Structure 1
Amino acid sequence: MANTAVADPQSGLTPAQLAQRYGLRVAGERPPLVEYARMLWAYRHFMATYSRAKVASSFSSTQLGQLWQVLTPLTNAAVYYLIFGVILSQHRNVSNFIAYLCTGVFVFMFTQAAVQNGTSAITNNLGLIRALQFPRAALPITVTLIQLQQLLMSMVVLAGIVLLTGEPLTFNWLLIIPMLLLQTIFNVGLTMVMARLGSKVTDLKQVMPFVMRTWLYASGVLYPVTLFRQHLPHWAANLLECNPPLVYIELARHALLESNQENLVTSPTRLWLLAIAWAVVMGLGGFVYFWRGEEEYGRG
């Protein structure tokens, strides 16, 4: 009796059978992982256009406009140089401390900005999420693309700093391309993790600046990473040397700074293996973790 009440009188099929016949599903239902990836790829033009528009409008209300994309990391580097280079005299331990410091600051800020903005990728776009049906992973990916575009502008300035401080232009500079690719994949995965966590714990955004500041000090941005071996237990030094931002920063320094080859925390081969491992683990892991919460975003 119950079945005939819910069945279609013409076809004799239940609503579930009708939905299966015509490829219908519950609104907001999480699709299979592979299908979700295909849907996300279909939105690649949206993500690229949206990220470019965000970059263009991000500093539209300021007099210097997008020049702040370069001035912000430069100002941070200047402050850190004053404290760590001049006051604490860390420049004595590195032959080209200015380029060493700027490389670390620019590369770390790519991850820092992606994480901090990714934390609110869902909560800041609830109107868009509730109005349109699209794979929500497009939002944290867009956050990373925005930061990548800003980093690319900063890298032009960094190249000038490196050359002006006496470093030669070598073929090693081409290694920056795969390094940035791996770091971008890592950032996308991490941003997806933070986006899902931030959608559940709204106060997380207030905590992240303290977390990122601690991560900054643990990533060898402001001083030679060789100091880890001199001042930390062996196990703690090994742990910090596997720290992903440190790995990507060291690869950038290896590519750009001829004078820094003796200060690398470990061999370039091991750094590349770690960089690939972090990109794969965080990229895939973050994507799966975010996908599992697809039905939760924008609810409530």
Structure 2
Amino acid sequence: MSQVLDAPPPTPAPAAGAPGEDLAALAARHGLSVSGARPTLSAYVRQLWARRHFIGAFATAKLTAQYSQAKLGQLWQVMTPLLNAAVYYVIFGVLMQTKRGVPDYVPFLVTGVFVWTFTQSSIMAGTRAISGNLGLVRALHFPRAALPVSFCLQQLQQLLFSMAALVVILLAFGVPPAPSWLLAAPVLVLQFVFNAGVSLIMARVGAKIPDIAQLMPFLLRTWMYASGVMFSIDRMVSAQSDLPSWLGTLLQANPAAVYIDLMRFALIDSFGGSHLPPHVWAVATGWALLAGIGGFLYFWKAEETYGRG
């Protein structure tokens, strides 16, 4: 009679977790984290800084490719704002006579058009930064703020090309070089921070509501007409005695108008400090900090939602 040996009892599988242990605690016990979770603010800033070379290279590549199919190539970076300035000169300067009483009107107008185009193009590009690059957002892991910031940097690079043409125009119309031209650098820094902040806000809005990109040209055109691109806000406020004082103050504190007037003050000798609103540098810095910091925080709050849905 054969002897039957009892097989040892099977070893029970390890329990997934202690009774009552929720999934979050189980994940923490094994060092797991949520995929795509929003990093802390400090970690997010460090990630963005670590990718600064990518931001610069991406901006340069987009700028180079922008007019790659055109025969005139990169010349359009200068010709586009110049053609806009020519159209505005005919309509507003000649037909509507907004040049009356404004010395050096052509440099005045071209400076306004170039500076405004920087803000307008940055905001439009920021609005489509996420919704127009979903393939990149879904394929690679990187701080999404890199996209709107890189688009703003692209527009800054384009403005610097245009500034070379602006210098030629200033000299051609008898505006001499002056030490005040150095003030253009801090003006551009403040405007870049402001543009980047607004672009970050619009990137989050555009990611949630893509149709906002169709509405933005109308909103920006309205903003342009209130920003003194083609006329002097200071002269208009002084000439319109029946204009409410609060409206004049609002027009002069308009951030786009502030940066335009500061650039005119820096570059055009006839545009003196009397044309600037009170505490203009403090206002320009305040707008830059408010939009830059506020826009960055607003965008970071929704970091884990971009590219989903």
Change beyond 3 A, Cα 1:90–1:14 = closer
CA contact (8 A) 1:144 1:188 kept: yes
Q: Which residue of 2 aligns with 1:246?
A: 257
CA separation in 2, counterparts of 1:242 and 1:109? 19
Identify the match of residue 114 of structure 2 among 106, 124, 146: 106
Q: Which residue of 1 aligns with 2:305?
A: 296
Q: Which residue of 1 aligns with 2:11?
A: none
CA contact (8 A) 1:182 1:279 kept: yes
- 1:228-260: per-residue Cα shift (whole Å, max 9, x none)? 343331011111111001000010000000111
Give the letter for the 1:6 counterpart: A
CA contact (8 A) 1:40 1:137 kept: yes
Q: Which residue of 2 aligns with 1:276?
A: 285
Identify the match of residue 38 of structure 1 among 27, 39, 46: 46
1:157 pairs with 2:165? yes
Give the letter for the 1:103 counterpart: T
1:287 pairs with 2:296? yes
Q: Which residue of 1 aligns with 2:176?
A: 168
CA separation in 1, counterparts of 2:260 and 2:281? 11
Q: Which residue of 1 aligns with 2:9?
A: none
Change beyond 3 A, Cα 1:286–1:262 = closer
Q: Which residue of 1 aligns with 2:8?
A: none
1:257 pairs with 2:248? no
CA separation in 1, counterparts of 2:218 and 2:42? 36
Change beyond 3 A, Cα 1:14–1:208 = closer
SS in 1 for 2:99: helix
CA contact (8 A) 2:265 2:273 kept: no
Q: Which has the higher helix share?
A: 1
Larger gyration radius, structure 1 or structure 2: 2
CA separation in 2, counterparts of 1:183 and 1:289? 19
**Alignment RMSD:** 1.8
CA contact (8 A) 2:130 2:306 kept: yes
CA separation in 2, counterparts of 1:96 and 1:84? 15
CA separation in 2, counterparts of 1:264 and 1:79? 25
Q: Which residue of 2 aligns with 1:7?
A: 17
Alignment of 1:1-300 (within 5 A): 5-7=15-17, 16=24, 20=28, 24-226=32-234, 227-231=236-240, 232-261=243-272, 264-267=275-278, 270-300=279-309
Greater shift, 21-30 or 51-60, is seen at 21-30
CA contact (8 A) 2:262 2:276 kept: no
- 1:79-117: per-residue Cα shift (whole Å, max 9, x none)? 000011111122222011000000000000000001111
CA contact (8 A) 1:224 1:263 kept: no
Structure 2 unpaired stretches of 5+: 1-13
Structure 1 unpaired stretches of 5+: none
CA separation in 2, counterparts of 1:67 and 1:164? 20
Q: Among the aligned pairs, what percent are the same residue?
A: 50
CA contact (8 A) 1:115 1:191 kept: yes
CA separation in 2, counterparts of 1:62 and 1:21? 58
Change beyond 3 A, Cα 1:230–1:5 = farther
Change beyond 3 A, Cα 1:34–1:229 = farther
CA contact (8 A) 2:253 2:277 kept: no
Per the normalisation by structure 2, the TM-score is: 0.90
Change beyond 3 A, Cα 1:23–1:92 = farther
CA contact (8 A) 1:225 1:265 kept: no
The Cα shift of 1:262 comes to: 6.1
SS in 1 for 2:133: helix
Per the normalisation by structure 1, the TM-score is: 0.93
CA separation in 2, counterparts of 1:257 and 1:93? 15
Change beyond 3 A, Cα 1:229–1:292 = farther
Give the letter for the 1:287 counterpart: F
Aligned length: 291
The Cα shift of 1:5 comes to: 3.6
